[in-house]
Structure 1
Amino acid sequence: MLREIVESFEDLVVIDKPVKKELELTKFLLKYKDKPVLFKDVEGWEVAGNLWSSRERIAKFLNTDNKGLLELLYEAMEKPKPFSVVEKAEFLKNREKVNLLELPIPKYYPKDGGPYLTSAMVIAKKEFVNVSFHRMMVLDEERAVIRLVPRHLYSMWKDSVEHGEELEVRIVLGNPVHLLLAGATSVAYGVSELEIASAISLKAFGRPLEVINLDGIPTPVDSEFVFKAKITDEVADEGPFVDITGTYDIVRKQPIVIFEEMYHVDDPIFHALLPGGYEHYMLMGLPKEPQIYASVKKVVPKVHGVRLTEGGCMWLHAVVSITKQHEGDGKNAILAAFAGHPSLKRVVVVDEDVNIYDDREVEWAIATRFQPDRDLVIIPNARGSSLDPSGKDGLTAKWGIDATKPLDKKKEFEKASLDF
C-alpha cells in the first residue's frame, strides 16, 4: 500500500543515485523539507521520507481539508470504532531472520548515539491493545534500545518485568497516515489506538482498519515491515537523539528490545522519519490539536479551529480561533489550551475572522487587537515540555495572547473589505 501512496504524490522527488544511510540521506530530506522524497537505492533498499510533511497533503489523502482534519481526528478520538480481523496480509509473503545492521536504518545527525528507527510503532496486548511511537537506537544485529516515556507501553512493560516476564510486541513500520496519527494520540489507558485508526479509516475511506492476528497480537495488514520482538528487563544508554525541537535530547538508561523475526511485503519501502523535520512535526503535533480543541470547547462553546504552528515545532506554540460571547472568553480559552496540551508554551487566541493557518493574519491580529498590559497572560514556573531546552527541571513560563476584539467595539476592529 505504501508504494501506491508514495507514487500518487504529484510533488514527489525521486533520488535515483545511490545514497548512504549514514548522514547522506538526511541532506536530501533537509533540502526538500516539505516534499515527499523517494530514494531508489539506500544501500540496496528503497526508502521514503517527508511523506506526511504538510498538513494539506495529509488532509487531501484523508479526503478532507484543514478544518475537516481537526474534526476527523477529534471525532475518532471521541468515538473509536472496531477494527476488522482478516486472514491475509501482504507482509506474510516474506519471513526472514532479523539483521538490523543490514536494513536501511539511518544515522540522521553526527552526534546521534547510533542508527535510529524513528517511524516504527510498537503494538502490545494485555488488557487491551496499545499502539504507540517509540524511537529505537540500534545496538547490533538483533538488539535496539527503546525510549519508553512513562505512559501506557511503559506500564505494560513494567508489569511484565515485575512478573519476571518479557513483554512480547509487534513492531510495525511503513504504515499509512491514519495509523500513524492514531499511534501518536494520547488517550485514556484502555482505549486502543487501533480503534482510533479504524474510526479515521471509516470516515475517510468508508472501511475499517484491517488487522491480522499475528500469534495473538492484532497487526495492521498495510504495514510494509513487521517485526516480532520482546522488550526485556535489560537496560542500556539511549541517545543522544535529535527530538522535535531540533535539539539533542539527553542520554538515559532505557530497556533493550530483542528483534526475533522480520516479515515484509514484496519490494518494501522503508519509511525514514527525519527527527525535527516537518513530518515529525505533523505526526507528533496534529493529534494534540483535538485535545486542545476539546479542552477549549468546555469553556467557550464556539471553537472554530486549533493549530499547532510549525514555527513552534508543532508542539510549543498554538493558535486557537473562537467566537467570543463574553469578555474574558479569550483568557479562559488560553488557560483551557494549556490544560489540553500541558507541553504548550504559548497560545494566541483570535476571532473567527482570522485564518489561523496563515501566520501573517495571526500576526496582524496581534498587531491590531492586542495590548500587552491588558491582554497578556503569563504563568510562571509551570510544568512544561521536557523537550524545550530553555526550560529548567521541567518548568517553564507560559504566555497567552488574547488577540480578540472587545465585544463593545467590534466594528472598530474589523478589517476593511469589499463585502457590503
Structure 2
Amino acid sequence: MPSLSDFLKELPDGEKLVISGPTDLDFLPTALVLELEAQKRFPVVMIERPEGFEAPVVTNLFSDRARIAGMVGAGPTGFAQAWTAAMANLVPAVVSSGPAPVQEVVALGNQADAGELPISRHFEADAGRYIGSGILVCKDPDTGVRNLSFQRMQLKGPQKFGVSLHSRGHIWDHLQRCEARGKNLEVAVVIGCHPAIYIAAAAKVAMEVDELAVAGALLKQPIELVKCKTIDVEVPADAEYVIEGEILAGVHEDEGPYGEYTGYSTYRSTRNVFHVTAITRRQKPIFLDIVPGYSAEHLLLSRCTREAHVFHRLKEMVPTLKALNYPKSGTHFHAFMSFKKTAEGQARQALMLLMGLDSYIKLAVAVDEDIDVFDETEVMWALATRFQADTDLFMVPKVFCNRLDPSSVEGMSAKLGLDATKPLNFEGERTSLPQHALDWARDVLAGKAR
C-alpha cells in the first residue's frame, strides 16, 4: 500500500520547497506557508531540521486543487468525478497480522512522551503546541464501524492532550454513548499516511460508512491495517506515527484558544481530555503538519469532499447544474453555483436545496452557466449586472449552523440566497471576441507568434 513517503518521492521537484537549515517550529512554518500563499505559490514545504526534534516536518501538502486531484489519480479538474465513483464502489480495509512499518518503534505507558513529537505552535494566541493533522480513528460502540475525523489536540503533558469535538460529528456521538455507559472512548491518532486517507477522513459520510473503505476506493486497493498495541482499534500499517489512547468519560478541562478556519482564535471547545497509552512510529518517521486557521490547505482539505458531495446531490435535483465552488474568502460559509436556467424560480429552488445540503453555508449565489464560479471577479460582475436586491434575494433567520462562526448566536445563523441569474427576457448581450483572435493573443504571449 502506498505511503506518505511514496507520495512525496513521486512529487516533481518544482512542487517542493526544502528548508535545510535549523528551523524553529513555533510560528515560522506557519508564517512561511501564509507568505507563499500571499505570493500565489503552493509548494509542499519540507523542513529537514526542526529545532529540538529529530524527525523532519512536511506541511502545505493540501494547498493546491490539482495536487489534491492527483492524490486520487484524477486529472486537475477530475476530483468530483473520482469522489463520486469512489463512494459508489467502496473497497473495505484489510487487517494484517504481520509486522507493520508504523510499529517499528513502540513506547508504552509512561515511556510514551508526546512532547518528543515535532508539534508546532502556529499562531500567537494558541494556548500551546497543537496537533491539527492527526486523524482520530475510533469505533462505533454499538456496531464497531470505524470512524475517521479531525479534531484539534492541545499538548498538555507527556501522556495528555486537551481535545475539542465542537463539530459534533460521529466521534462526538460515540463519546456520548460511551459516557452513558461509564466508559472511555478508545481513539488512535494517526499522523502521516497516504494523502488519500486524509481526504477520506475529512469527508462527511454516513455513520455506517467506514472512511477507510472510501480511501481504499480512492486508491483502488484495500487499505492495509494493523491492530493497535493497547486499544481495540486498527490503523493504517504504513502510517508514520500513531498515538494510542482514550478520550476520558466525564472529564473536562479548559482547552484553547486555537486559530480556526474562520481566521479567528477561539475558546469554543467541548473541553475533553485525551490520555495517551502508547506511541508507535516508523524507524525514520515524517511528521505531517497542516497549517490551521485561514490557510489554503486547511480550507481545501476540508472543502474538497464537501464540494464533491454537495455537487453530486444537488445535480440529482438540478440536472443543468454546471459547477459549484466554496471560495476561500468565505471560509466554509459561502458557495457559488452555476447552472443553465430554463424557468423562473429555478435559482431560488436550487439555492434552498444547496443550503439544506450543507449547514455551514450562510451565503449562496446562483449564476448563469457562462459565469466561472472559480473566478470571484466574474461572480461579482454577475451580481453587479444581473441582480436587484428588492427582487432577487431571500433570507431565512435562525437556522442551525457551525458553532465556530464567531457571528453565530447559540449555534444559529441567518441564511442569505442571491439570485444573480439573468431573467429569461434579459436584453443585455455579453461582449465577446472570435476564437481565432483569442488564440492569436495567447500564441503571441506564449512566444509562438508575432
Same-fold call, TM > 0.5? yes
> Residue 364 of structure 2 aligns to a residue in which SS?
strand
**1:245 and 2:247 are equivalent in the alignment:** no
Letter in 2 for 1:320: M
Report how far residue 230 of structure 1 moved.
1.4
Report how far residue 102 of structure 1 moved.
1.7
TM-score of the two chains, using structure 2 as the length reference: 0.86
Distance 1:308 1:213, change over 3 A: same
Report how far residue 135 of structure 1 moved.
0.9
> Residue 15 of structure 2 aligns to a residue in which SS?
coil
Letter in 1 for 2:172: Y
Which runs of 5 or more structure 1 residues have no equivalent in the other structure? none
Report how far residue 78 of structure 1 moved.
5.0
Match 1:89 to one of 76, 100, 110: 100
2:93–2:223: 8 Å Cα contact kept in structure 1? yes
Aligned to 1:304: 322
Aligned to 1:333: 350
**1:118 and 2:136 are equivalent in the alignment:** no
Aligned to 1:385: 402
Deviates more, 1:110-119 or 1:380-389: 380-389
2:163–2:270: 8 Å Cα contact kept in structure 1? no
Report how far residue 316 of structure 1 moved.
0.8
Distance 1:357 1:168, change over 3 A: same
**1:361 and 2:373 are equivalent in the alignment:** no
**1:171 and 2:217 are equivalent in the alignment:** no
Trace 1:204-215 onto structure 2 (pairs within 5 A): 207-214=221-228
> Residue 18 of structure 1 aligns to a residue in which SS?
strand
1:237–1:251: 8 Å Cα contact kept in structure 2? no
2:154–2:255: 8 Å Cα contact kept in structure 1? yes
Match 2:58 to one of 48, 53, 68: 48
Which runs of 5 or more structure 2 residues have no equivalent in the other structure? 437-450
The count of aligned residue pairs is 414
2:67–2:76: 8 Å Cα contact kept in structure 1? no
Distance 1:400 1:222, change over 3 A: farther
Task: Give the structure with higher Rg (CA).
Answer: 2
Aligned to 2:18: 14
> Residue 291 of structure 2 aligns to a residue in which SS?
coil
Letter in 2 for 1:312: G
Percent identity of the aligned residues? 29
Letter in 2 for 1:303: L
Aligned to 2:448: none
Report how far residue 413 of structure 1 moved.
4.1
Letter in 1 for 2:398: N
Over aligned residues, Cα RMSD in angstroms? 2.2
Cα deviation code 1:108-130 (max 9, x no counterpart)? 11221111110001111231111
* Distance of 1:382 and 1:231 partners within structure 2: 31
Cα deviation code 1:376-397 (max 9, x no counterpart)? 2222333333222223333323
Deviates more, 1:84-93 or 1:330-339: 84-93
**1:221 and 2:237 are equivalent in the alignment:** yes
Distance 1:78 1:316, change over 3 A: farther
2:268–2:404: 8 Å Cα contact kept in structure 1? no
Cα deviation code 1:204-236 (max 9, x no counterpart)? xxx233323436423112321112211112221
Aligned to 1:3: 5
Report how far residue 366 of structure 1 moved.
2.4
Distance 1:303 1:218, change over 3 A: farther
Letter in 2 for 1:219: V
Aligned to 1:28: 32
Distance 1:253 1:299, change over 3 A: closer
Deviates more, 1:93-102 or 1:267-276: 93-102
> Residue 388 of structure 1 aligns to a residue in which SS?
coil
1:369–1:413: 8 Å Cα contact kept in structure 2? no
**1:344 and 2:344 are equivalent in the alignment:** no
Letter in 2 for 1:256: V
Aligned to 2:446: none
